[in-house]
Structure 1
């Protein structure tokens, strides 16, 4: 698949997340391609389990369906880079941080070489692989690997977390539409996140705009539990959703 097609499909999926439903003819006009090309794009997204094709268009297949970390890395990629750069400013040299599994925290991990003498704790295989190539110290939490998330979970992971003190945790989520806190799709991930939050002094949530329009199955915290949320530009409605977070930082 060409990069142009991947970008177009990512844009189409973002439109479906925002609007709930799209029309083939409208997408063809916006992207300046044929309707047959759009139908092919929609078939690809449907095969990935992201959407459901309907007559003349497409809609979300299921707002509670989990997608792989590989796909999440392509979704709203530029916004995630902005959020990661802003969150980096809140990392103190010589501190102990936790990076939650997720595409935005993965983006943050790529900037860590700009910091000094960190101890990085994570249960994300992809983040651990990145940090292992830096000069920072690394604790990779063992446990049962969730294949889609590429993250370890379970009692071994949680017991290890309870023996650690974390200065600052950076948490991702699968969304929080119609919720009073962030969610995740897996019960095992919910448990790990709760152990992290209990053992962290500073608690930060990273969330691109798509998180305001979808949700997972299990809520793992209240917004009031977080010291700060890092996101991009929010309208008044979106600000109200996260108003219980102590501080909102918009990366522009």
Structure 2
């Protein structure tokens, strides 16, 4: 490839990231036949002007990385999320202890639980808390530092309390996993809590609509063989679902 000036190279970097979701700095350096230091400067420039998001050792497209407000995400694929939530409900044992993660699809499950009773629900999600606060379930909120972007509590206090608990099922969300070998999230602190929840649960279930199979995220928080079930909708790419069946039970509703 002919050498490009910085502006043209940066425009092509944005295009590559939009097409691939994410790329490593070493891949970009090889693609443009420039040094890693040159790519590092390009990524810094693009990150500072909001064109991309930097990750560990590379960069991520803004359209993949950006977390939309939860109200907007709840409206997206509303019918699919409702079907996923109702299927998830069938896994909960009578008087079961469950962990409900932050996210729009797990919030759909909270809406299903709102008019039920007898469950113990542990969560760090502020929307889940406000949804279930007046329900006839036993609700435990894991307090800590509040993250306004993902609407949940995070930090050492959350993790230390969660470590002392045991639940029947952890219901987990994912921001996308197209280029990962497991479910992933856009926030490192959120990923730490998700990983801890898996270790505290007898069964771990990821709930997400089919679009997450086409998105990339920042951090993988588990491998698929740590997840017992993935529940999604019937628009999930069949070839991808067949591949994941080698590691986890994929249920499409």
The TM-score normalised by the length of structure 1 is: 0.73
Shift of 1:87: 0.8
Q: Secondary structure at the match of 2:135?
A: coil
In 2, Cα distance between equivalents of 1:246 and 1:147: 32
In 2, Cα distance between equivalents of 1:68 and 1:82: 21
In 2, Cα distance between equivalents of 1:245 and 1:67: 29
Match for residue 101 of structure 1?
102
In 1, Cα distance between equivalents of 2:231 and 2:126: 23
Shift of 1:246: 2.8
- Cα-to-partner distance string for 1:64-98 (whole Å, 9 max, x where unaligned): 22222222112211111110111111111211000
Shift of 1:61: 4.6
More divergent stretch after superposition (98-107 vs 69-78) = 69-78
In 1, Cα distance between equivalents of 2:71 and 2:112: 19
In 1, Cα distance between equivalents of 2:213 and 2:251: 15
In 1, Cα distance between equivalents of 2:184 and 2:114: 30
Q: Secondary structure at the match of 1:168?
A: strand
2:250 is aligned with 1:238: no
Structure 1, unpaired ranges of 5+: 1-16, 21-48, 51-59
Match for residue 222 of structure 1?
223
Shift of 1:249: 1.4
Structure 2, unpaired ranges of 5+: 1-17, 22-49, 52-60
Match for residue 62 of structure 1?
63
Match for residue 249 of structure 2?
247
- Cα-to-partner distance string for 1:14-53 (whole Å, 9 max, x where unaligned): xxx99x9xxxxxxxxxxxxxxxxxxxxxxxxxxxx99xxx
Q: Secondary structure at the match of 1:63?
A: helix
Match for residue 117 of structure 1?
118
* Number of equivalenced pairs: 198
Match for residue 39 of structure 1?
none
Distance 1:217 1:61, change over 3 A: closer
- Cα-to-partner distance string for 1:192-240 (whole Å, 9 max, x where unaligned): 1111011110100101111001021010001111111111113432213
The TM-score normalised by the length of structure 2 is: 0.73
Shift of 1:114: 5.2
Conserved 8 A contact 1:100-1:170: yes
Shift of 1:241: 4.5
More divergent stretch after superposition (81-90 vs 232-241) = 232-241
Q: Secondary structure at the match of 1:181?
A: coil
Match for residue 5 of structure 1?
none
Match for residue 187 of structure 2?
186
Match for residue 131 of structure 1?
132
Alignment of 1:168-183 (within 5 A): 168-183=169-184
